[in-house]
Structure 1
Amino acid sequence: MNSAIHHTGPVNVMRGVRSTSHRFRVPLDHGDPTGEQISLFAREYSSTDHSDAEAARLPWLLFLQGGPGVRGNRTTQLSGWMKAAARDFRILMLDQRGTGFSTPADPLTLPQRGTAVEQAGYLRHFRADSIVADAEVMRAALGSAPWTVFGQSFGGFCTLSYLSFAPEGMDRAIITGGLAPLAGPVERVYRSTFKRVAKRNAEYFGRYPQDRTAVTHIMRHLDRVEEVLPTGERLTPQRFQMVGSFLGGNTRVDALHYLLEDAFVGAYDGDRLSPVFLDQLQSVVSRRSNPLYALLHESIYCQGQASSWAAWRVLEEFPDFAPDAADPLLTGEMVYPWYFDEDPSLVPLQETAELIAAADDWGPLYDVPRLAANAVPAAAAVYSDDIYVDRDLSLETAASVRGLQVWETADFHHDGIHDDGDAIFSRLLAMTHTG
């Protein structure tokens, strides 16, 4: 195992939570431990219900965030799943490589790597297998026994990789909305999720029928009138469709209604989009703060094959999503090549994105025989109507992991832990004790 340089920051206390920062130096390429090093940042959270000495004796829980390319959560008080976890654990909230306070990979730093070929080569080290290797180096540096790993969404994908490559470092595994398919082709992911997104559109417009009119009106307006986002570029109909990301949540779906309510100055027969609407939309349709999501999203499914913009190709099979459809549907989390034409923060990375999409020599992300012999207690929440991680593919994966207990529920969508994290986490934790 590679060793890490580890530095601990000061302890801060606020609203019942104690936080401590940790910094580590790890190899960019864990296959070359003497090569380039990068920095990792993680923040430790514990409850002040425990004394300092008691907290230091608690076992660790590593939380792996969704993404890819999304930093760990920042919190000023313990609530939801973190409040539940802090009863028995100290939580390590990781900024996965390339995000947050870890060595960044963004529109400012990636061009410094050199050519597009060099950038794409660098980014090959930012998938789940590298994140797992990072975690094991950090665990050793912290002097931790095998720890509990909790993965949400893409973090669940990473947890499956952890069970594949370093199960000896895990005491138990908890996964929410993150049972990845263990094998390709990539296209089947999007054939499944486009169907679920279409169903979710129908459910949403059934709840808010006036929004069906609003969405079509905005799309047609954008065909005719040049509307400019705060970052200066024209808002296109296909980019507006990205607001479908709201459909993946229990409460965010209702926030979409309020977003659309602000669309036009005056009534829906107005002739310009409002500044309030455009300001809100900017954060939804830009990848400026998490370019790794756009660059690496499809690669998280790739093992020995190219993605070749799989979602874009599969989209042709679902004409109701076409911007020129009679009543266009909103899209989900899928990434398309035109992102790198229309989002100013991604334009400089266009050639890099094409190289990543064309790469067909990705290494394995899972060890299927090892998962079939798994001995780590594991439990997963599968959301029946999840538009991001398909229920059927999730159950297929669950059946391939020995001892993995599944709780399937239709009460939550992909962001269930944001709605009732305490109950969900507590239930899954108990399942790992009784399995």
Structure 2
Amino acid sequence: MRVTMPGLTAVDHEFTVPLDHDDPGGPTIQVFAREIVDPPKAGDDLPWAVFLQGGPGGKSPRLYGKAHFRYILKTHRVLLLDQRGTGRSTPAQPNGAGYYRHFRADSIVRDCEHIRKALGVDQWETWGQSYGGFLTMTYLSLAPEGLKACHITGGLPGLTATADDVYARTYPRVVEKTAAYYRRYPEDAALAERVAHHLLANEVVLPDGDVLTHRRFQMLGMQFGMSDGFESVHWLLDEAWAGDRLSDTFLYGVMAATGFIGAPLYALMHEPTYAQGAATDWSAERLRPKELDEPGTFTGEMTYPWMFDEIRALRPYREAAYALAADATLGPLYDPDRLADNQVPVAAVVYHDDMYVDAQLSLETAARVGNVRTWVTNEYEHNGFRADGEKISARLMDMISGQA
């Protein structure tokens, strides 16, 4: 299907790929992707770029116009990929852990290579946002011959970092972001404590039937790493109360923000992203500081075992989540030797104050991978590409071309 909206023409594609690329004659799934191009250039022979969305378990952006792709569309046609199990690709279904072993970065990269060849593209460029940067490092490890250049926004992973390494660094940043939130909105400290004490003393039911516990309320802190995250939580708290009960506006907002509605893979595959030869064993739960049990505190981008009991959209995945957390056989996702010899030009923006992706781990990776240039900045939060895509795109493309 081809449609034209303000600033772009979009063409939908569906591809049949093996569930297990090592078993091409076995079960198959569908992977959906949307091609976008500047309308006056729709018939031109433009170079291709594939956009690798954050996540894991993230579908491609649904656009209302050029938005943050404006600069890239001046010279490229872009393929927005719904990673397997997301969006209009074959949806994730409750299944055993063996099924979801095929939903990590290596399988997604092999989907990309299947699609590139199906489109008849000799080489393409990648744009990797957040987890898309993790995918980029796997792509460079498995199939660099398909890549002309790579651009990464806030997503250089620690190549050998375990889940414990990641969360040991992440928890202090969550505490720092929470303190920054209260500096911006000091009156919200009392509001958050009031909500927390109310939830600890009363059973509060969300519109979908889930019980809103204190620990689920704390999950709102996962928004603090975005440029508009403080405001998202502030305006929820601003209208939290209707007399002595929590308002419907608040309850619907919390349900939407913490319910993983349409995105169960985000929770299911989060810790397995860091599993390379060792079980994660619910790392975030084991490393959770005791002080985060206090009213008025928030957590961040962490996955806890209780979520698969208390959150409606995640309950069907409970068995798989526990099995994945105990699985010590998930293999490596990066090839350090091949990455050290990398010849594909890579430009990466590293957000100095990133709550989700540790800047120091990112810079260590940049030093270990050949042909990587980094731009370190504290001007943006983790969603810098969405917030100021034109400026970030221009800078990264200039870095690739040697003009910056």
Matched, 1:13 2:1: no
Matched, 1:59 2:47: yes
Equivalent runs, 1:218-367 vs 2, <5 Å: 218-265=195-242, 270-315=243-288, 318-322=289-293, 325=294, 327-367=295-335
Letter in 1 for 2:281: S
**CA displacement, residues 327-355 of structure 1 (integer Å, 9 cap, x when unaligned):** 44211110000001111222222121100
The whole-number CA distance in structure 2 between the counterparts of 1:338 and 1:70 is 22
The whole-number CA distance in structure 2 between the counterparts of 1:218 and 1:393 is 36
Paired residues in the alignment total 403
User: Which of 109, 126, 137 lines up with 1:149 in the alignment?
Assistant: 126
Secondary structure, aligned partner of 2:43: helix
Normalised by the length of structure 1, the TM-score is 0.91
The whole-number CA distance in structure 1 between the counterparts of 2:320 and 2:23 is 23
Matched, 1:389 2:357: yes
**CA displacement, residues 298-318 of structure 1 (integer Å, 9 cap, x when unaligned):** 000111011100011010xx2
Asked if 1 retains the 8 angstrom alpha-carbon contact of 2:189 and 2:296, the reply is: no
Match of 1:216 in 2: 193
Asked if 2 retains the 8 angstrom alpha-carbon contact of 1:377 and 1:433, the reply is: no
Letter in 1 for 2:396: L
Match of 2:376 in 1: 408
Matched, 1:36 2:31: no
Match of 1:184 in 2: 161
Task: Give the C-alpha shift of residue 383 in structure 1.
Answer: 0.6
- 5+ unaligned residues in a row in structure 1: which ranges? 1-9, 114-118
Task: Give the C-alpha shift of residue 293 in structure 1.
Answer: 1.1
**CA displacement, residues 3-58 of structure 1 (integer Å, 9 cap, x when unaligned):** xxxxxxx32111121000111111111111111111111000001132x322xx00
Normalised by the length of structure 2, the TM-score is 0.98
Letter in 1 for 2:47: P
Task: Give the C-alpha shift of residue 252 in structure 1.
Answer: 2.4
Task: Give the C-alpha shift of residue 185 in structure 1.
Answer: 2.7
Secondary structure, aligned partner of 1:124: helix
The whole-number CA distance in structure 2 between the counterparts of 1:163 and 1:321 is 38
- 5+ unaligned residues in a row in structure 2: which ranges? none
The whole-number CA distance in structure 2 between the counterparts of 1:213 and 1:247 is 18
Letter in 2 for 1:179: L
Identity %: 46
Secondary structure, aligned partner of 2:217: helix
Equivalent runs, 1:29-178 vs 2, <5 Å: 29-50=20-41, 52-54=42-44, 57-80=45-68, 82-105=69-92, 109-110=93-94, 113=95, 119-178=96-155
The whole-number CA distance in structure 1 between the counterparts of 2:43 and 2:353 is 44
Match of 1:3 in 2: none
Equivalent runs, 1:191-210 vs 2, <5 Å: 191-210=168-187
The whole-number CA distance in structure 2 between the counterparts of 1:194 and 1:291 is 23
